Structure 1
C-alpha cells in the first residue's frame, strides 16, 4: 500500500506537457486597460483579423470598468440597490390600482366563504 499523501496514478517527473508536445502557441497581443482608480489590466488576445478587442474590461482589483485611455478611464457604474418583489409591483401599479385589486380579491374571498 502506498503512502497516504501519494497521488494515485502519478509518477515522479510527471507534469504538464511542454510547448513541444502541445505545438506552437497562437500569436498574442496584449492590451492595456485602466480603471478610474489607476489600476492597469493587461489581458491578451489572439492576433487574428476576426478577433474584436473590447472597448472596456472589468478591473480584477476593484471590480470597476476599465478603458484603453489612461487619461480618461470610464466612470464607475452606479449600483442599484436590491429591489424586493413589492418594490417592482409598486413601480407597475398605483395605490388606487392596488386598492381596487385588494377590494376585488376580498369580495371573491367573501363570496367563496359565503359571507
Structure 2
C-alpha cells in the first residue's frame, strides 16, 4: 500500500479561494478593438482607467482601433537597406569618384614608402 498522505496533491497555503478570501473584484470595462484582418480583441481595463485609442492585435500583430467599420491600415514595411544604399543617399557620383581617387592615391603613397598593407 502506498503511504497515506491526507493532504496529497496540495501545497502549503492552498485552500479554497473565493471572493471571501480575495475580496471583491475590481470593476472592469471590456473594450473591443478591430484590426485590418477582421480580428476582434477584447482586453479588460479598470473601470476608471483611460482606454487607449489603439491596441496591437494579439493574433496578427497589426494595429487595431475601436472602429469596426474603419480599422487602421497595416503599417508600411520599408525594405532593408544595405550600407552601400545609405552611402549612395549621402554622396553623389562625383563626390564618390573624388573620395575614391583620394583613397587610391593615399594607398599608392603608402606602398611607395614600403609600408606593409594587408
Q: Give the alignment's TM-score, normalised by structure 2.
A: 0.70
> d(CA) in 2 for partners of 1:82 and 1:71?
33
Are the structure 2 counterparts of residues 18 and 84 from structure 1 closer, same or farther at C-alpha, using a change threshold of 3 Å? farther
Instruction: State the match for 2:32 in structure 1.
Output: 32
> d(CA) in 1 for partners of 2:78 and 2:25?
42
TM-superposed deviation, 1:32: 0.9
Instruction: State the match for 1:56 in structure 2.
Output: 54
Any unmatched runs of 5+ in structure 1?
A: 1-10
Any unmatched runs of 5+ in structure 2?
A: 1-7, 114-118
Q: After superposition, where does 1:22-101 map in structure 2 within 5 Å?
A: 25-48=25-48, 51-101=49-99
Q: RMSD of the TM alignment (CA)?
A: 2.6
> d(CA) in 2 for partners of 1:38 and 1:91?
39
> d(CA) in 2 for partners of 1:26 and 1:111?
78
Computing the radius of gyration over CA atoms, which structure comes out larger, 1 or 2?
A: 2
Q: Give the alignment's TM-score, normalised by structure 1.
A: 0.71
> d(CA) in 2 for partners of 1:101 and 1:46?
61
Aligned residues: 103
Match of 2:81, SS? Answer: coil
